[in-house]
Amino acid sequence: MECEVTFADSSLKESYEELTGNNDRLAKEIARALDEISRNFSCGRNVRKKLIPKRLIEKYGIKNLWIYNLRKDWRLIYSVQTDDIEILAIVLNWMDHKDYERLFGF
């Protein structure tokens, strides 16, 4: 199911644009992920509600969380919102595996 993809805030979008300007490998991975998410929002792995980190719920007011595996050691996290008209995937962050483990308390 197609959806619009956006960033949670302008600083995250600026960080992505900086990566893209440097033709960085990570930027290409993120661009591929954004394209795939826009074509199918459920292409990532859905996190069970009880496992969503509280700080993400408090910061973004999200009710769901999805994880998209980038290259071996990076993850992109996003949330999906819907209304009667459209589906919106909101990119919350991308992080290396160390930060990912810290966020989820592994």
Write the pLDDT tens digit of every residue in 53-73: 999 999 999 999 999 999 878
E strand spans, 1-106: 4-7, 45-47, 65-69, 74-82, 87-96
Give 38's pLDDT tier (boundaries 50, 70, 90): very high
- What's this model's pTM, rounded to 2 decimal places? 0.91
- Select the more confidently predicted residue: 21 or 103: 103
The domains of the chain, with CATH numbers, are 4-104 (3.30.2310.20)
Could you give the CA distance from residue 64 to residue 101 in angstroms, rounded to a whole number?
Answer: 18
What mean pLDDT value characterizes the chain? 91
Residue 6 has pLDDT above 90, yes or no: yes
Q: What is the average per-residue pLDDT within 29-54?
A: 95
Higher-pLDDT residue of 47, 26: 47
Is the model's pLDDT at 92 over the cut of 80? yes
CA 78 centroid distance within chain: 3
